[in-house]
């Protein structure tokens, strides 16, 4: 809808509507704490807790997961609006009850686009959040048997509106 466009409410009374959001893209960052050469099992924490600077309020429109190792295994990303105690890398994912009180939502990356040597995963969660410190904390969970080769750690980026 264009800025300043009139919308009729059904009572012949116009309501002005404006576009108020801007696009914010985070730079790609490596997922911290990935154990290279280690076999993961479905449900394991994939790396450590990560954080990303974002606007205080927004909606995660999409997530890009760059899979340099080309495994294309689903990743669930658990988001929190305050620091949490991480589950150790390669351990069964299990946030505490206290950490769940900081929970914002979950996004799943399960659609991948393959290239010859790598893949890009995309998620479109439309996940609204409030991050009082301007930071979202997140931890990934693998849903398969990853085994990441050295120097092939994945990167992740977010687009927020």
Question: Distance between CA atoms of 25 and 54, rounded to whole angstroms?
Answer: 9
CATH classification for the domain delimited by 21-160, as one of 3.30.2010, 1.20.120, 2.60.120, 2.70.98 = 2.60.120
Question: Distance between CA atoms of 72 and 143, rounded to whole angstroms?
Answer: 10
Among 111, 132, 146, 137, residue whose Cα is nearest residue 49: 137
Kindly tell me if the per-residue pLDDT of 56 is higher than 70.
yes
Question: Distance between CA atoms of 29 and 46, rounded to whole angstroms?
Answer: 15
1: tokens are: 């809808």
- Give per-residue pLDDT as tens, 72-128: 999 999 999 999 999 999 999 999 999 999 999 999 999 999 999 999 999 999 999
Kindly tell me if the per-residue pLDDT of 33 is higher than 80.
yes
Mean per-residue pLDDT, 23-37: 94
46: tokens are: 């994939």
Q: In 3-state terms, what secondary structure has residue 151?
A: coil
Q: How would you write the chain as a 3-class SS string?
A: CCCCEEEECCCCCEEEECCCCCCEECCCEECCCCCCCCCCCCCEEEEEEEEEECCCEEEEEEEEEEECCCCCCCEEEEEECCCCCCCCCCCECCCCHHHHCCEEEEEEECEEEECCCCEEEEECCCEEEECCCCEEEEEEEECCCCCCCCCCCCEEEEEEC
Residue 9: what pLDDT? 47
Give me the residues paired with residue 21 across strands: none
Spans of all domains in the chain = 21-160
Q: Decide if 78 contacts 103 (C-beta within 8 A).
A: yes
Q: Decide if 114 contacts 72 (C-beta within 8 A).
A: yes
pTM of this structure: 0.85
Give me the residues paired with residue 51 across strands: 137
């Amino acid at each position: 809808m264009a800025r300043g466009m009139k919308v009729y409410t059904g009572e012949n009374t116009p309501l002005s509507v404006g576009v108020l959001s801007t696009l914010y893209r985070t730079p790609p960052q490596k997922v911290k704490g990935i154990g290279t050469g280690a076999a993961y099992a479905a449900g394991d924490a994939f790396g450590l807790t990560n954080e990303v600077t974002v606007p205080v309020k927004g909606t995660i429109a999409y997530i890009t997961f760059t899979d340099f190792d080309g495994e294309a295994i689903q990743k669930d990303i658990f988001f929190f609006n305050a620091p949490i105690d991480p589950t150790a890398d390669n351990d069964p994912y299990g946030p505490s009850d206290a950490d769940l009180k900081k929970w914002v939502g979950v996004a799943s990356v399960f659609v991948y686009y393959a290239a010859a040597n790598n893949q890009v995963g995309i998620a479109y969660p439309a996940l609204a959040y409030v991050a009082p410190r301007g930071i979202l904390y997140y931890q990934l969970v693998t849903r398969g048997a990853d085994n990441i080769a050295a120097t092939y750690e994945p990167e992740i980026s977010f687009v927020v509106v």
